[in-house]
Amino acid sequence: MIASKGPRAAERASCSSELAVLRINVTESYVVAEWSRRLGCTPSQLRATAAVVGDVAADIEAHLRPAQDAAREQDALRAAFADAPARSE
């Protein structure tokens, strides 16, 4: 039998920290500032979203993403409209 070079199943991920869910502590301003930067939102948007969906980072990101996508689409439309040549009728 050929021995594998990787760790045995019993040795893999025995520590519970690998399975921990990332949670955002919205009571700490430095945590809110960092996560706001990472997620591309304001601190008040982050806190409001956490109040709705909870403090799990993945849930907050999933909740914020549609609004961010819509904002990017609106910005692109505004830029295209501003760059369009003026029509004279």
Q: CA 44, CA 13: separation in Å to the nearest integer?
A: 36
Over its C-alpha atoms, the chain yields an Rg (Å, rounded) of 22
**Taking 90 as the threshold, does the pLDDT of residue 59 lie above it?**
yes
2 band by pLDDT with thresholds 50, 70 and 90: low
Residue type, 48: A
Domain ranges of the chain: 22-82
φ and ψ at 21, to 5 degrees?
Answer: -90, 135
Mean pLDDT confidence for 61-88 = 82
pTM: 0.59
Q: What does the alpha-carbon distance between residue 13 and residue 6 come to, in Å, rounded to a whole number?
A: 12
